[in-house]
Chains A and B, each alone.
Chain A
Amino acid sequence: MLEKMLLGRYIKSNSFVHKLDPRTKLLGSFYFILIIFLANNWLSYLLLALFTFFAIWLSGIDIKFFLNGVKPLIWLILFTVIFQVLFTTGGTVYAEFWVFQITSSGLINGAYIFARLVLIIMMSTLLTLTTAPLELTDGIEHLLRPLARFGFPAHEIALMLSIALRYVPTLMDEAQRIMNAQRARGVEFNQGNFVDRMKAIIPILVPLFVSAFNRAEEMATAMEARGYRGGEGRTKYRQLDFDRNDLLVFVGYLLVTAVLIGLRFIAF
């Protein structure tokens, strides 16, 4: 069951990308999503694609994994692209029927959107494949920390995230166990119509919830027994270090941004 999950699928290695500070990778991924909207011509998309493939090459992970990341979303992407193609007006009209038009600008827009979505998915897959869940929560906590001044519960959210991530495999195991136990009592999970299937989920969901409550209670007791009393006065075991390589990534992003802006306003 775990194999199908993309979340928390982390491939251990010691590459350039793996050793980056998780904050760099988080910010980098968000920034990439922002600057991809700057691109509006073939040359800029080519540049971003090259940038993405360069990052993937730096991570030393097989490109297969990234294509697998795109696969479950391919229908959604194609759906969006087809809509774009059918409803965009302007440019040379190639075909027309009822309210739909296939135009040159529609085709170009469709292609752009396709490239945009695939690149964004690849970049975020790169983030999850190269960053251990724990590092990710650490990075998020550090990035949210400035907001704590405005009363934002940064420590609590980070703790919740890390406990949630730590329990994903435990709860998956438990769900599987409950499912098998209910199957042994004659519950059918993949037969019948939609309503029947939904009804069959109740005997999994209810015990899973009840046991999650019990776990939470026991865990809270165990945490308190070990002296947990909120975020204040705590020291940190894990430390993030921002080094030369992280700086290099930011310089790289700056260069790409400059070229993108140049391509947008100067050329064409």
Chain B
Amino acid sequence: MAQPIVALNNISFQYPNNETNALSNVSLEIKQGEWIAIIGPNGSGKSTLAKIINGLLVPYEGEVKINGQQLNEETVWDARRAVGMVFQNPDNQFVGATVEDDIAFGLENNGIPREEMITRIEDALKQVRITEFKEHEPARLSGGQKQRVALASVIALRPDVVILDEATAMLDPLGRKEVIAAIRDLKEKFNLTVISITHDIDEASYADRIFVMNQGQMVKHDTPANIFSIGNELVGMGLDVPFAQKLKQALIQRGVELPEEYLNEEELFEWLTKSYLIK
């Protein structure tokens, strides 16, 4: 069995001037090429977890392993090279004065030679389809475009893992769709491992596995189908369930006999059309 690309073992973390743990005893393992969604209400420790994986925060207990290598002061820069991160606010992570400079910033930091930089920037621009904005300043881009730039600048660094820390939270539905489509494309192409922290339940439904966090603890981890079938429990934690699950529950309330397990929109559609044919 291949070793996990990200492994957390009994992580606990506390912010200074804070009584309670932001994270307590969190353990997880993520394999190469997996798409993981981390969901949970505000303040459940999702973003803290992401920053710990990237070495931006150091837990007071437990160990982090990236690619089998223990994360400590010496390996932190290797870890950051292996784990790229896209943050929530598209404006506050745009360092460069133009799109190409922003993508170049990360490459410059890692001492990539200029010739290589030029090809990598071209590639990254093409991969997220923003080549025509190459020379634009951030003020002339939409939120979705800026977020695609942020994605391109992470991709240009050729990471193994991409963490999306609520990367689509500030976007409109169209921008959100664009960014998610770009990420799915990239994941296919490079066998990326994606960790997406999100409140958007539709985004979470693309995942291979969903981790549910609540009050600094990992409450559940399972496939989307299994997670969404406990719909009521999720709602109790202040989370939402996908549209198909809501529709199913509404139908059950009205006396339609639907199967127990979670169905996504297509499956539900199929089931409904079939059942109609039988009657």
Q: A-side interface residues toward B, CB under 8 Å?
A: 133-134, 137, 162-163, 165-166, 169-170, 173, 214-215, 218-219, 221-229, 233-239
Q: Does the CB pair A134–B109 fall under 8 Å? A: no
C-alpha gap A114/B98 in the complex (Å): 39
B residues less than 8 Å from A236 (CB atoms) = 108, 114
20 more CB-based (< 8 A) A-B contacts, given A234-B109, A237-B107: A133-B97, A166-B94, A218-B92, A219-B93, A221-B51, A225-B84, A225-B87, A227-B81, A227-B157, A228-B106, A229-B77, A234-B108, A235-B107, A235-B113, A235-B114, A235-B117, A236-B108, A237-B104, A237-B118, A238-B104
B191-248 residues with Cβ-Cβ distance < 8 A to A are: none
- Across the two chains, which residue of chain A brings its CB closest to B116? A235
For residue B64, give the distance in angstroms from its CB to the closest CB of chain A.
15
Q: Does the CB pair B107–A222 fall under 8 Å? A: no
C-alpha gap A211/B112 in the complex (Å): 34
Q: Does the CB pair A228–B109 fall under 8 Å? A: yes
Given contacts A170-B91, A225-B85, A226-B153, contact A237 B108 (CB under 8 A): yes
B residues less than 8 Å from A239 (CB atoms) = 114
Q: Does the CB pair A226–B92 fall under 8 Å? A: no
Could you tell me how many residues of chain B have their Cβ less than 8 Å away from some Cβ of chain A? 40
Q: Does the CB pair B95–A170 fall under 8 Å? A: no
In the complex, the number of residue pairs spanning A and B with C-beta atoms less than 8 Å apart equals 97
B residues less than 8 Å from A221 (CB atoms) = 51, 56, 87
For residue B167, give the distance in angstroms from its CB to the closest CB of chain A.
12
C-alpha gap A225/B154 in the complex (Å): 10
- Across the two chains, which residue of chain B brings its CB closest to A228? B109
- Across the two chains, which residue of chain B brings its CB closest to A215? B92
Q: Does the CB pair B56–A134 fall under 8 Å? A: no
Q: Does the CB pair A227–B109 fall under 8 Å? A: yes
C-alpha gap A224/B138 in the complex (Å): 20
Given contacts A134-B98, A234-B108, contact A222 B87 (CB under 8 A): yes
Q: Does the CB pair B109–A229 fall under 8 Å? A: yes
A–B pairs, 25, beta carbons within 8 Å: A134-B97, A165-B97, A166-B95, A166-B96, A169-B138, A173-B139, A221-B51, A222-B92, A222-B95, A224-B80, A225-B54, A225-B80, A226-B85, A227-B81, A227-B110, A227-B157, A228-B109, A229-B109, A233-B111, A234-B109, A235-B111, A237-B101, A237-B117, A237-B121, A238-B101
Render B69-100 as a binary contact track against A, CB cut-off 8 A, 1 for contact.
Answer: 00000000100110011010101111111101
A residues less than 8 Å from B112 (CB atoms) = 235
C-alpha gap A215/B92 in the complex (Å): 6
A residues less than 8 Å from B107 (CB atoms) = 235, 237
C-alpha gap A239/B93 in the complex (Å): 24
- Across the two chains, which residue of chain B brings its CB closest to A163? B95
Q: Does B269 contact A (CB under 8 A)?
A: no
C-alpha gap A224/B51 in the complex (Å): 11
Q: Does the CB pair A226–B101 fall under 8 Å? A: no
For residue A164, give the distance in angstroms from its CB to the closest CB of chain B.
10
C-alpha gap A87/B87 in the complex (Å): 62
Q: Does B137 contact A (CB under 8 A)?
A: yes
B residues less than 8 Å from A238 (CB atoms) = 101, 104
Interface core residue of B105, B113, B114, B138 (most chain A CB under 10 Å): B105
Render B58-69 as a binary contact track against A, CB cut-off 8 A, 1 for contact.
Answer: 000000000000
B residues less than 8 Å from A227 (CB atoms) = 77, 80-81, 106, 109-110, 157
B residues less than 8 Å from A226 (CB atoms) = 80, 84-85, 95, 105-106, 109, 153-154, 157
Given contacts A134-B97, A218-B92, A237-B100, contact A224 B56 (CB under 8 A): yes
Given contacts A219-B95, A221-B56, contact A169 B139 (CB under 8 A): yes
C-alpha gap A238/B98 in the complex (Å): 12
- Across the two chains, which residue of chain B brings its CB closest to A135? B97
For the complex of A and B, list the 9 residue pairs with the smallest distance between their C-beta atoms, beginning with the closest: A237-B104, A222-B93, A226-B106, A169-B139, A218-B92, A227-B109, A134-B97, A225-B85, A228-B109
